[in-house]
Chains A and B, each alone.
Chain A
Amino acid sequence: MDFNIEDVFRGEKKAVAHALNLLEDRRPASLEQNKALIEKLSNNARPSRHVIGITGPPGVGKSSLMTYIIREYRSRGKTVGVITVDPSSQRSGGALLGDRARIVHDPNDDGVFLRSMAAGSHMGGLAWRTRHCLTVFEAVYDIIIIETVGVGQSETEIDQVAGTVAFIVQPGSGDILQFMKAGIMEIPHVLVVNKADQKALAARARNDLMVARTYSQSALEGWELQLVMTSALEGWGHKELIDVLERHNMFLSEKGILEAFRRRKRIEWVIMLFRERFGTFGFEVLGGEEKVRKMIAQEDINNPLERLQALEKKVFCNRLPQRAQR
């Protein structure tokens, strides 16, 4: 490693970027190095960090909303790391990462760092890279925001990496109906009706969602899905949104849910890495996905890459005798 890890912890952007570049490297030769890096980063994760997932359909104004969220957190003295995830083309493997262009931020501010990522070939939408890179952000920034396009599975996946999930909709778009039908209602902790300057439509959206909320299961016991109205256009609602996000974080830590969540997050990370490597075949060899999950849960999982290696060994051991029988 030709850089100083202390510089990363101090939030020097050049070092942070370097660490991210290393962790994105998928060459087998880089595995050992990355394992060591993740170990160090995990040990230095900020206990007070808050990982927030922002998701919602295209066109609801996520990026302009992000501008205000970042600004508001900065004015409250918090540092902010942002990961934006865009889909990869299944055909070419390429990706257009266009969010950076729309999030207004100050390049001279050392307390803000933005990184765009392609979802890669991974089905659900959040790249394995996202989880790798998250370890860097968790060791450096107070607030970490992961922005994804809310289509298909990415909502469920964001639930596995973010402590607080906010879902953004816009009034009068049909998104809200889709949202209720799709049953995604169970995932977010905060619902944001953006572009609420469209007064009449926004009021209706609010009513619909209030009604829908009473029928849906809460994402978390003791936490009622919060509804916030914002307007990026007229520049209001953001303070209230941040208040709600902070309240949710407080709720998580007071209830002691946070630690359990972080642990579960790491288990799912190993599961994802394992699935990418061996597919369903791997789970079969080790007796099914649930069994694998239990196996992981029994051990200390500060370093998911290490756990993956342990599982790899098991797969090969279990597999080889069978092959010998043939």
Chain B
Amino acid sequence: MTASVNHPKDRPWLMRAYSGYASAKESNLLYRSNLAKGQTGLSIAFDLPTQTAYDSDDILAKGEVGKVGVPVRDHEDMELLFDQIPIEKMNTSMTVNASTAWVIALYVAAAQKQGADISKLRGTTQNDIVKEYLSRGTYIFPPKASMRLTSEVISYTVNQIPKWNPINICSYHLQEAGATPVQEMAFTLANAMGVLDAVKESGHVKEEDFPNVVGRISFFLNAGIRFIEELCKVRVFTKMWDRICEERYGVSDPKMRRFRYGVQVNSLGLTSQQPENNIARIIYEFLGVVLSKDARARSVQLPAWNEALGLPRKWDQQWSLRLQQIMAFETDLLEYDDIFAGSKVIERKENELEEEARAEIDRIQEMGGIVPVLESGYMKQQLVESNTRKLRQIESGEKVVVGVNRFEEAEPSPLTADTEGFFYVVDDSVEAEQIRILEDFRLRRDKEKVARALDHLREGIEKGKNIVELSIECARSGVTTGEWGKTMREIFGEYRAPTGVSLVAADVPQTGEAGKVNERVRKLNDKLGRNLKILIGKPGLDGHSNGAEQIAVKARDVGMEVVYEGIRLTPEQIAESAMQEGVHIIGLSILSGSHLDLMPEIVRNMKKRGLADIPLVVGGIIPEADMEKMYHAGVKKIYTPKDFNLNDIMNGIVDVVAQANHVEL
């Protein structure tokens, strides 16, 4: 096979941007303006309460309403979101997982109200629960129940909305959680197999339609900086998926076996130090997923260069879009066949990756497949360990990150010089306004109809009826997101996933810097009379727990006793746990931008229990401008992504505890 310029040019990938914020009304205006500019599809971000099925006035929703996406609480919100936008003609991508059945029900109800033909709807729901347990954290129900929900969304759409992509299986978040390329492939493919097996077992899809189910599955990948390895990863993914579809599911049409994937390149690896360097990182990472014609991404989202600093502005997003356009329209990339076909070096690497991934998949199948393996905490533990290894390499300098652990000296950047008004900030009044709208809606609706719909939901689920169909009735009857969530929680139970943290066994010998911190901890322990005990957890609904997990493992490795409480904690839970556990210090991780809402609440709850003297430290994406307010609220130390040296953070914790207990070290 030779590269040729005589072929018709290959079509470029889809260039997407993820958006949605504040309220249905504002998001609607934004969508309409984007559509007017020629954008062809919509990609909707929902706020965390929608993703975890809570109403805006739920205690857990505090500070999260409209923060990372649009709040949708009932059918009126969904109708407003698509006001003057013809749903039937749209291609709508929705980032929603645990509450997919509900959101799609609202979407269908809104479409029907517009008079749309449901069978013509097009779009994608993420609907991938496995990576929620492993990384992103917006799961609700136990794994088995979640698999049922996932499978019912699939059978509903395959039967009713045949052009819909019911699931977008994500390896993206696994890489963020620390997955190696092999783990990324193995866990993701095992996940896909689990989903397909569940649909098959359910018997809700006719056998002759099953290849269509397989063909509708799509994937969402991450691309890291080791771009040759990443390039091989996407090639192997493509090959392995093809084989699984053919051998395991007997799909004979090669088109149905195609590994269709979208990509967002790694945004977690972007640095806040010398942030302009991130442009180079974004481009190299981008190369890995577009260079191979035989395994090219179908759609690509590039992060903005300054994402490590805060929410990007429109101009920042535009710059990333231009990077893609230059690659697609100026370079000659699309004129060639697969440029790696026949490369011995690439082939060798591919074989190596494939062999290891296959072995890992076999291991998971031997343990009973994806559901029992999730429950056992095995995958989570593997990810936490990989991530720990990676961070240790950065800390030791073995893994170079330019501007962070090497070549740190830099000229002042003109790009970041003017930080005043630099970031887009969500207006504080949004939450109160949303609660007001919701309360108004609750007063206006027909209460009996709501109660009846919820009863039908309960009974129908018991009888094995399709959950999406039952939820559409709820949506039409005026049930709210929180009410749907509450009923479902009663039926299926709420789940706390294995954190993986307590299973991480291998703590390295404490030498060098870490050894010194360990010494300090032991000294402090003797002076305190009992061992330094720290509570680590995440308040709010944001479930990205990787940072908190790494801090927990590190704290253990330097000799602290760590109560790791995991995600989705209310201010009250945090204060209560701190009291019952008798900790010396609390460490909280907040990434969703709700720190200013949550902190005063946490401090208030601590004071109420007489715990004002327990120091608080916070890690997360905290803009400079907010720091003063955080210190004022009673926070003793703040760590941002800039603080990559975990030993420094541990030393800081030791200092704060020593000081709070009037101990000299």
Are A96 and B553 closer than 8 Å at their CB atoms? yes
Are B530 and A96 closer than 8 Å at their CB atoms? no
Known: A61-B375, A108-B572. A94 touches B561 (CB 8 A): yes
Least Cβ–Cβ distance between A88 and chain B, in angstroms:
8
Most central of B501, B507, B531, B609 by chain A CB within 10 Å = B531
Binds A, one of B7-15, B208-216, B492-500: B492-500
B325 part of interface (Cβ distance < 8 Å): no
Contact of A96 among B142, B496, B552, B577 (CB under 8 A): B552
Nearest opposing residue in chain B for A197, CB measure: B144
Known: A13-B580, A114-B580. A100 touches B563 (CB 8 A): yes
Binds B, one of A16-24, A252-260, A264-272, A295-303: A16-24
A26 part of interface (Cβ distance < 8 Å): yes
B509 part of interface (Cβ distance < 8 Å): yes
CA distance A235 to B493 in the complex (A): 8
CA distance A62 to B205 in the complex (A): 36
Are A118 and B531 closer than 8 Å at their CB atoms? yes
Which 7 A/B pairs are nearest by Cβ-Cβ distance?
A98-B502, A101-B566, A25-B529, A107-B576, A94-B556, A27-B529, A24-B530
Tell me which residues across on chain A come within 8 A of B375, comparing CB atoms: 59, 61, 195
A115 part of interface (Cβ distance < 8 Å): yes
Are A97 and B579 closer than 8 Å at their CB atoms? no
Per the 8 Å Cβ criterion, residues 421-447 of B in contact with A are: none
A113 part of interface (Cβ distance < 8 Å): yes
CA distance A68 to B577 in the complex (A): 19
Per the 8 Å Cβ criterion, residues 611-659 of B in contact with A are: none
B555 part of interface (Cβ distance < 8 Å): yes
Nearest opposing residue in chain B for A104, CB measure: B496
Least Cβ–Cβ distance between B556 and chain A, in angstroms:
4
Tell me which residues across on chain B come within 8 A of A104, comparing CB atoms: 494, 496
Are B563 and A97 closer than 8 Å at their CB atoms? yes
Q: Mark A16-50, 1 if CB is under 8 A from B, else 0.
A: 11001100111100100000000000000000000
CA distance A77 to B237 in the complex (A): 55
B98 part of interface (Cβ distance < 8 Å): no
Known: A21-B582, A92-B556, A115-B582. A100 touches B609 (CB 8 A): no
A233 part of interface (Cβ distance < 8 Å): yes
Known: A25-B530, A118-B531. 6 other contacts (CB 8 A): A17-B579, A64-B496, A86-B502, A100-B564, A103-B496, A115-B582
CA distance A26 to B570 in the complex (A): 33
Q: Mark A52-82, 1 if CB is under 8 A from B, else 0.
A: 0000001101011000000000000000000
Q: Mark A243-256, 1 if CB is under 8 A from B, else 0.
A: 00000000000000
Known: A17-B579, A58-B503, A101-B496. A94 touches B530 (CB 8 A): no
CA distance A59 to B338 in the complex (A): 46
Known: A14-B610, A59-B377, A233-B142. A92 touches B559 (CB 8 A): yes
Tell me which residues across on chain B come within 8 A of A27, comparing CB atoms: 526, 529
Tell me which residues across on chain B come within 8 A of A102, comparing CB atoms: 496, 498-499, 566
Are B577 and A100 closer than 8 Å at their CB atoms? yes
Tell me which residues across on chain A come within 8 A of B537, comparing CB atoms: 101
CA distance A195 to B368 in the complex (A): 13
Tell me which residues across on chain B come within 8 A of A96, comparing CB atoms: 501-502, 504, 552-553, 556, 562, 564
Contact of A107 among B509, B560, B572 (CB under 8 A): B572
B518 part of interface (Cβ distance < 8 Å): yes
Nearest opposing residue in chain B for A18, CB measure: B582
Most central of A16, A92, A120 by chain B CB within 10 Å = A92
CA distance A98 to B378 in the complex (A): 15
Least Cβ–Cβ distance between B198 and chain A, in angstroms:
15
Contact of B560 among A94, A116, A195 (CB under 8 A): A94
Are A94 and B557 closer than 8 Å at their CB atoms? yes
Contact of A89 among B144, B501, B507 (CB under 8 A): B507
CA distance A88 to B579 in the complex (A): 22
Q: Mark B444-486, 1 if CB is under 8 A from A, else 0.
A: 0000000000000000000000000000000000000000000
Are B559 and A107 closer than 8 Å at their CB atoms? no
Tell me which residues across on chain B come within 8 A of A120, comparing CB atoms: 531
B597 part of interface (Cβ distance < 8 Å): no
A93 part of interface (Cβ distance < 8 Å): yes
Nearest opposing residue in chain B for A90, CB measure: B507
B242 part of interface (Cβ distance < 8 Å): no
A181 part of interface (Cβ distance < 8 Å): no
Contact of A92 among B510, B526, B552 (CB under 8 A): B510
Nearest opposing residue in chain A for B504, CB measure: A96
A91 part of interface (Cβ distance < 8 Å): yes
Known: A59-B376, A102-B498, A233-B142. A94 touches B559 (CB 8 A): yes
B565 part of interface (Cβ distance < 8 Å): yes
CA distance A17 to B529 in the complex (A): 16
CA distance A79 to B16 in the complex (A): 55
Least Cβ–Cβ distance between A268 and chain B, in angstroms:
23
Are A95 and B558 closer than 8 Å at their CB atoms? no
Q: Report, as a range, how many residues of chain A touch the other chain.
A: 35 or more
Are A26 and B529 closer than 8 Å at their CB atoms? yes
B25 part of interface (Cβ distance < 8 Å): no
Are B558 and A98 closer than 8 Å at their CB atoms? no
Tell me which residues across on chain B come within 8 A of A107, comparing CB atoms: 570, 572-573, 576-577
B525 part of interface (Cβ distance < 8 Å): yes
Q: Mark B84-124, 1 if CB is under 8 A from A, else 0.
A: 00000000000000000000000000000000000000000
Tell me which residues across on chain A come within 8 A of B576, comparing CB atoms: 13, 107
CA distance A17 to B580 in the complex (A): 5
Tell me which residues across on chain A come within 8 A of B499, comparing CB atoms: 98, 101-102
Are A115 and B529 closer than 8 Å at their CB atoms? no
B522 part of interface (Cβ distance < 8 Å): yes
Are B564 and A97 closer than 8 Å at their CB atoms? yes
Least Cβ–Cβ distance between A183 and chain B, in angstroms:
26
B26 part of interface (Cβ distance < 8 Å): no
CA distance A218 to B16 in the complex (A): 67
Most central of A26, A30, A95, A115 by chain B CB within 10 Å = A95
CA distance A209 to B509 in the complex (A): 41
CA distance A99 to B577 in the complex (A): 12
CA distance A103 to B556 in the complex (A): 21
Tell me which residues across on chain A come within 8 A of B510, comparing CB atoms: 91-92
Nearest opposing residue in chain B for A86, CB measure: B502
Most central of A86, A89, A91, A93 by chain B CB within 10 Å = A93
Contact of A93 among B502, B559, B582 (CB under 8 A): B559
Known: A21-B530, A101-B565, A107-B573. A14 touches B555 (CB 8 A): no
Are B503 and A97 closer than 8 Å at their CB atoms? no
Nearest opposing residue in chain A for B510, CB measure: A92
Least Cβ–Cβ distance between A2 and chain B, in angstroms:
11
Least Cβ–Cβ distance between A132 and chain B, in angstroms:
11
Least Cβ–Cβ distance between B342 and chain A, in angstroms:
46
Tell me which residues across on chain A come within 8 A of B376, comparing CB atoms: 59
CA distance A86 to B368 in the complex (A): 27
B581 part of interface (Cβ distance < 8 Å): yes
Q: Mark A183-197, 1 if CB is under 8 A from B, else 0.
A: 000000000000100
CA distance A86 to B531 in the complex (A): 14
Least Cβ–Cβ distance between A165 and chain B, in angstroms:
22
Tell me which residues across on chain B come within 8 A of A14, comparing CB atoms: 579, 609-610
Least Cβ–Cβ distance between B295 and chain A, in angstroms:
36
Tell me which residues across on chain A come within 8 A of B577, comparing CB atoms: 100, 107, 114
Are A13 and B579 closer than 8 Å at their CB atoms? yes
CA distance A91 to B518 in the complex (A): 10
Per the 8 Å Cβ criterion, residues 497-527 of B in contact with A are: 498-499, 501-504, 507, 509-510, 518, 521-522, 525-526
Least Cβ–Cβ distance between A316 and chain B, in angstroms:
24
CA distance A170 to B344 in the complex (A): 48
Nearest opposing residue in chain A for B502, CB measure: A98
Tell me which residues across on chain A come within 8 A of B579, comparing CB atoms: 13-14, 17
CA distance A47 to B363 in the complex (A): 51
Known: A14-B610, A86-B502, A93-B522. A100 touches B557 (CB 8 A): no
Least Cβ–Cβ distance between A269 and chain B, in angstroms:
19
Q: Mark A108-129, 1 if CB is under 8 A from B, else 0.
A: 1000011110101000000000
